[in-house]
Amino acid sequence: MKRWIALLLLALAVGSGWAKEAEPLADDPAVEQRLINIADEMRCLVCQNESLASSRADLAVDLRKELREQIRLGRTDDEIREFMVSRYGDFVLYRPRVKPVTWLLWAGPFVLMIAGVVVLMMYLRRRNRVTAQAATLSQDESSRAEALLKEAEL
């Protein structure tokens, strides 16, 4: 009887106790998620174009540690961005701030699109007029030709 109970307990232990749900690597997943959201839009300064979130460089690891501290201290996203920009300049942000030097960058695509469509509309209208004129002129010409022919017949 004891052997059966022992075996049963062993089976239960093996079956359930070992298969435990893995813990998140981060101490605080909520903080970590915020860190990734912020660091994803920042540049790793010593890499050849990688984000601060995914880089494995030493400085990136240090900076992520620093940003985690800032998040725990309750700073807002804007404050954290300011923290980084005041130390490393605008270069560290992958999303360029909207200031006079980047107006052309942010407005450019939409200005281009509107300009493109407007120019296209103007071009199409003019083109239609030109080709339509060519058609009516020939109509004109053909009626003149008809009239001349009629004259010649008479």
Partner 1 sequence: MKAKFLIPLALFGVLVAFLAVGLTRDPHEIPSPFINKPAPPFKVAQLIKADDAFSPADLKGQVWMLNVWASWCVACRSEHPLLVQMSQAKIVPVIGLDYKDKRDDGVKFLAQHGDPYNLSAFDADGRVGIDYGVYGVPETFIIDKHGVIRHKQIGPITPESLEKTILPLLAELKKES
Partner 2 sequence: MIPELGHFLLVLALCVAAVLGTLPLLGAHQRRREWIVLARPAAQVFFLLTAASFVALGWSFYVNDFSVLYVAEHSNSLLPTVYRLAAIWGGHEGSLLLWMFMLSCWTVAVATLSRTLDETMVARVLGVLGLVATGLLLFVLFTSNPFERLLPAAQEGRDLNPLLQDPGLVFHPPMLYMGYVGFSVAFAFAIAALLSGRLDAAWARWSRPWTLTAWIFLTCGIALGSVWAYYELGWGGWWFWDPVENASFLPWLLGTALIHSLAVTEKRGSFKSWTVLLAIGAFSLSLLGTFLVRSGVLTSVHAFASDPRRGIFILLLLVLVVGSSLALFAWRAPKVALGGQFGLISRESLLLVGNVLLVVACGSVLLGTLYPLIVDALNLGKISVGPPYFNTVFVPLMAPALFLMAAVPLARWKHADVKDMARRLWIAGALAIVGAIAIPMLMGGWTFLTGLGTLLSVWIAASMILQMIARLKSGIPPLSFWGMQLGHLGVAVFVMGVTLVGGFQEEKDVRMEPGDIVTVGGHEFKFIGITAVNGPNYKAARGEFQVIRNNVPTRTLYPEKRTYVSSEMPMTEAAIDPGVTRDVYVSLGEPLEGKAWAVRVYFKPFVDWIWGGCLLMALGGICAASDRRYRMRVKAAAAARTTALQGASS
Comparing CA positions, the residue from 59, 25, 12 lying closest to residue 39 is 59
Angle at 81 between CA 79 and CA 83, to 5 degrees: 70
Judged by CB under 8 A, the stretch of 30-38, 82-90, 127-135, 136-144 that binds partner 1 is: 82-90
Judged by CB under 8 A, does residue 18 bind partner 2?
Answer: yes
Residue 47 near partner 2 by CB under 8 A: yes
Q: Can residue 59 be called a binding residue for partner 2 (CB under 8 A)?
A: no
Contact between 73 and partner 1 by CB under 8 A: the answer reads no
- H/E stretch holding 55 reads none
Phi and psi, residue 42, nearest 5°: -115, 155
Q: CA 47, CA 53: separation in Å to the nearest integer? A: 12
Q: Which residues make up the interface to partner 2 (CB under 8 A)?
A: 18-26, 32, 41, 43, 47-51, 54, 89-96, 101-102, 104-106, 108-110, 112-113, 116-117, 120, 124-125, 127-128, 130-132, 135
